Amino acid sequence: MNPTVAKLKSNMGFVALIYQIFGLLYCITIIGAIVGWPYYLIGKYLKKAITQLSEIEKFEDERIETAIHYIDRSFRIVKIIMIIGFIVGIFYFIFIFAYLMPMIKSGNPPFKYS
């Protein structure tokens, strides 16, 4: 197996899984289903594309090899951006939780309504 194709399959699998998970999470609400369904479908089609890569891999054409190399690079960037976004999201929720919980417990809400 070509190492570039193996890395591409790995990166595509990760991106497909994340798209499917977030798509299903968006679909929890009715309004979110409008946004979530396309994300889920993107993940589903990426998984199908992974299975088709095994067939393409059998050909020894330099143009296919170059295309797979650039696709792999793009999926690697998407994977890194997703991981960074996930980490930033976790820190965001920790910050909000740490900021709001003391205010809620003390009875002093951050916003006063008059």
- The answer to whether residue 60 sits within a structural domain is yes
Q: What number of CA atoms fall less than 13 Å from residue 88's CA on the CB side?
A: 6
The set of residues, in sequence order, having a beta carbon less than 8 Å from that of 94 and lying 6+ positions away, is none
Residues 2-42 pLDDT 10s: 787 888 888 888 989 998 998 898 889 888 888 788 888 88
- The answer to whether residue 111 sits within a structural domain is no
Mean pLDDT of the region 81-105: 85
Domain count, the chain: 1
**What single-letter DSSP state applies at residue 84?**
H
Classify burial at 65, counting beta carbons within 10 Å of its beta carbon; exposed 0-12, middle 13-18, buried 19 or more: middle
- The answer to whether residue 114 sits within a structural domain is no
- The answer to whether residue 112 sits within a structural domain is no
- The answer to whether residue 88 sits within a structural domain is yes
pLDDT over 80 at 87, yes or no? yes
pLDDT over 80 at 108, yes or no? no
Mean pLDDT of the region 68-85: 86
